[in-house]
Structure 1
Amino acid sequence: MQAGILLAFASYFAFACGDASLKAIGDRLPIFEIGFFVSIFALLPALFTKRPEDNWGNVFVPNRPGLVALRMASGTLGGILGVIAFTSLPLAEAYALIFLLPIFVTVFSFVVLKEPIGWRRWLAVIGGLIGVLLVVRPGFREILPGHFAAIGVAICGAITVIVLRVLGPSERRITLIGAVLVAAIVVNGVLMVPDFEIPANDLWPIMILAGLCAGMGHLLIVFATRLAPAARVAPTQYSQIVWATIIGASFFSEFPDLIAIIGMVLVAASGLFTFVRETERTRWPSRVPLIRNR
C-alpha cells in the first residue's frame, strides 16, 4: 500500500515536470507540432505498461468501438488544450482550472448518468467554482485563451471519466491507453503539416523530457494501482498543484498571491471532497482503471 502511494506521488511529480517542459517550449513551436513530438516520446515508457496476457493488436480491437472512439477524442482534444494552457498560463493557475475536473464529473453524472447528487456534493461544486473565481478574478485580470483551454481540459477529462465508468469493467487497459496515444500522434501529425517548422536544436531535449515525463507518469501510475487501490492512489494527483507552485517559482519566477493560493486550496479541497463522497456512495472508483486525464 505505502509503496503504491509513493509511486503515485512520483508519477504526478513526473507529470508536473512534463507540463513544466511544455511551458519552457512556450510559443517557439506550433501547438500541434509540440503535441505530436511529445506524444511520440511519451509512447516509449508507456510500452512497458503492457501486461503478459495482452498483445499490441488489442489496441485496435476494442470491445465497444463507439465509446473507445469517444475516449480517444476526449483524450486527444484534452492533450491539445493542455499544451495551449501550459504554454500560456502560470503552472499553478493552469492546474487550479484543470482540477475543476471532479466538479464537471459531478455535473455530468447528474445530467448524463442520472446519478443522485446530494447537497454536500453540490456545495463542493459551488466551492470549486468560487475557488476558480479567486484564482482567475475575471474583471480584475486579463482573461487569456489559456484559461478557456484549461477549463476545456477539465471538461474533456470529465467526459473521459464518464466514459471509463462504462468501459472500465469490459475494456482492456492496453486499449484504453494505447488507443489515445495513437490518436494523439495521428491527429497532431496531420494538423501540424500546414505550419510545420523544424525545431531548433535546443528544443529537442525539452520535448524529449516532456514526452518521457508524461510516459513515465503513466507507467508509474499503472504500477501504483497494482500495489494500492485506486481510491487510495487518486487523491495524490492534487500534489501536482504543490509541484507546480514550486517549479513555477524556481524556474519561471511565478509567485501566486495569497488570494490565488486560497482559491487553489478551495479547488483542491472541493475536488477531494467530491472524490471521497463518490467513493462512499458508488462503486465506480474501484472499477475504473486509473489513468491520467491531464
Structure 2
Amino acid sequence: MEKKGIILALWSYLLFTISDAGSKLLEGQVDPFEAAFMAGLMGTVAIPFVRKPHESYINVFGFSHFFIWLVRAVSVALCTFLCVVAFTKLSMPEAMALLFLLPLFVNIIALVFLNEKVSLSKWIALIIGFIGTLVVLRPESRPFGIGHLAAIGGAFCTGTSWAVFRATDKKKGGLVTKPSRLSLYGAGVIGPIIIDGILMLPHWTIPTPIQWVYLSIYGFLAAAGQLLMMIAAEYAEANTIALPQYSQMIWTVIFSYVIFHQPIDNIAFLGIGIILLSGYLTWRSGRSLVKAPLPPIAHQIQKTLEASE
C-alpha cells in the first residue's frame, strides 16, 4: 500500500512539473492573471472526483469553514498568478529553487503565529535548503528581478495557506475543525476564478490555438496532479509522500535542457544537490513525529503540512 502511495506521488509531482512547464511555454504572451484564471476554470473538472458520496456541491464554497476557505482562496489566487510570473521570467531551476523555500516559510509562520516549536534538526535542514537556493541563484553575480520576487511571493502565499490549515489540526486551541477536502479543493479553484478573473479583465485577450494548448497543459495537468496526490495520501503517510516531491528538481533540470535549451552549470547543480539534501534531512526530522495515519478523507494540503513536521 505504501509503495503504491509513493508511486502515485511521483506521478503527481511529474504532472505538477509539466504543468509548470506549460506556464513557461506561454512566454508571457498571456496575461498572468488570465493564465491563473484559466487554471482555476480548468481545475473545476476534477470537482466531481473530489466530492465524497452524498456530499453537497455547496461545500465547494466552504460555508461551514468560511474563514479557512477564504484564506486558501486568496492565497491560491495570488500564488497561481505569482508562479506564472516566476516561471515566465526565470529559468525553471531558478524558479523551482525559490519555490522550495516553502518549508522555511511554513515553519516561520507556524513559529510566530501558532506558537509551534521547531526542532534544531529541522532548523538545520531548512537553513541548508536556504543555502542551496542561494547557490543556485548566486545573487552576488545575477540581478534580482521581478521573477525572483514573484517566486518568493508564491512560496510565501502557499506557506500562509498551509500554516492556517496546520492550526486546524491542533487538538487544543485549533481555529476550527478540519474542512472537507471538497471545501479545500474548491477554494483552490474558486479563488483564482473570482480574484484572478476580475484582475484579468483590463488585459483580457483571446488565446491563440497554440496558447490554448499550453494553457490546457498548465491547467488540466495541475488538476490531475492534485487528484493523484489525494489518492496517494490515502495509501501512505505524510512523510512518506513528502520526499518524492524533490523529484521535481530532477524533472525541472531535464525540462530546462530538453524543452527550453537552458543548460545548468556546475554551481547550479551543486545548489540543487544541497536542496535535495535539505529535503532528505527535513524528511528524516519529521519521521519520528508521525504517530498514526490520517483519516481517509484527509486532503493533500493537510498531508503535506504534517510532512514538514
* TM-score calculated relative to the size of structure 2: 0.88
**1:213 maps to what in 2?**
221
* In 2: Cα distance, 1:46 partner to 1:215 partner: 9
Deviates more, 1:106-115 or 1:148-157: 106-115
Give the 3 Å change call, closer, same or farther, for CA 123–228 of structure 1 in structure 2.
Answer: closer
Counterpart among 171, 175, 178 of residue 179 in structure 2: 171
Would you say the 8 A contact 1:22–1:86 is kept in 2?
yes
Higher relative CO (CA 8 A, sep ≥ 6), structure 1 or 2? 1
Any stretches of 5+ residues in structure 2 without a counterpart?
170-176
Q: CA separation of 1:81/1:283 partners in 2, compared to 1, >3 Å: closer, same or farther?
A: farther
Question: How far 1:285 sits from its partner (Å)?
Answer: 8.8
1:68, CA displacement in angstroms?
2.1
CA distance in structure 2 between the aligned counterparts of 1:206 and 1:226, rounded to whole angstroms? 31
Matching residue within 256, 260, 275 for 2:268: 260
- The C-alpha deviation readout for 1:143-191, integer Å capped at 9, x for no partner, is 2211111111111121122111123552101001112211111111111
User: Helix, strand or coil: the match of 2:263?
Assistant: coil
Q: Deviations over 1:178-219 (max 9, x none)?
A: 122111111111111111112122211111121111111011
Corresponding residue of 2:39: 38
For residue 10 of structure 1, report the CA deviation from its aligned partner: 0.7
Partner of 1:117: 118
Task: State how 1:46-125 maps to structure 2 within 5 Å.
Answer: 46-125=47-126
Q: Secondary structure at the match of 2:85?
A: helix
Displacement, 1:78?
Answer: 1.0
Counterpart-to-counterpart distance in 1, 2:41 and 2:161: 21
Residues 1-294 of structure 1 aligned to structure 2 (within 5 Å):
1-168=2-169, 170-281=178-289, 286=294, 289-291=299-301
TM-score by length of 1: 0.92
Offset, 1:279: 4.3
Cα 1:283–1:148 shift into 2, 3 Å: farther
Percent identity between matched residues is 33
For the residues of structure 2 that align with 1:164 and 1:282, how far apart are their CA atoms? 17
Give the whole-Å Cα distance in 2 for the aligned partners of 1:129 and 1:59. 36
Of 59-68 and 33-42, the range deviating more from structure 2: 59-68
Q: CA RMSD in A?
A: 2.1
Native 8 Å contact 2:40 2:191 kept in 1: no
Contact 2:62–2:69 (CA under 8 A) maintained in structure 1: no
Which amino acid in the other structure matches residue 33 of structure 2?
A: F
Structure 1 outlier segments of 4+, above 4 Å: 282-288
The one-letter code sitting in structure 2 at the alignment partner of 1:270 is S
- Residues 247 and 209 from structure 1, CA distance in 2 versus in 1: closer, same or farther, beyond 3 angstroms? same
- Report how far residue 275 of structure 1 moved: 4.0
Q: Alpha carbons of 1:31 and 1:130: their partners in 2 closer, same or farther (altered >3 Å)?
A: same
Distance between the aligned counterparts of 1:122 and 1:282, measured in 2? 18
Residues 148-157 or 161-170, more deviating: 161-170
What is the deviation of 1:260?
A: 1.0
Q: Partners of 2:300 and 2:281 in 1: how far apart?
A: 18
**Using a 3 Å threshold, how does the CA distance of structure 1 residues 218 and 271 change in structure 2: closer, same or farther?**
same
Distance in 2 (alpha carbons) for counterparts of 1:289 and 1:166: 15
2:172 aligned residue: none
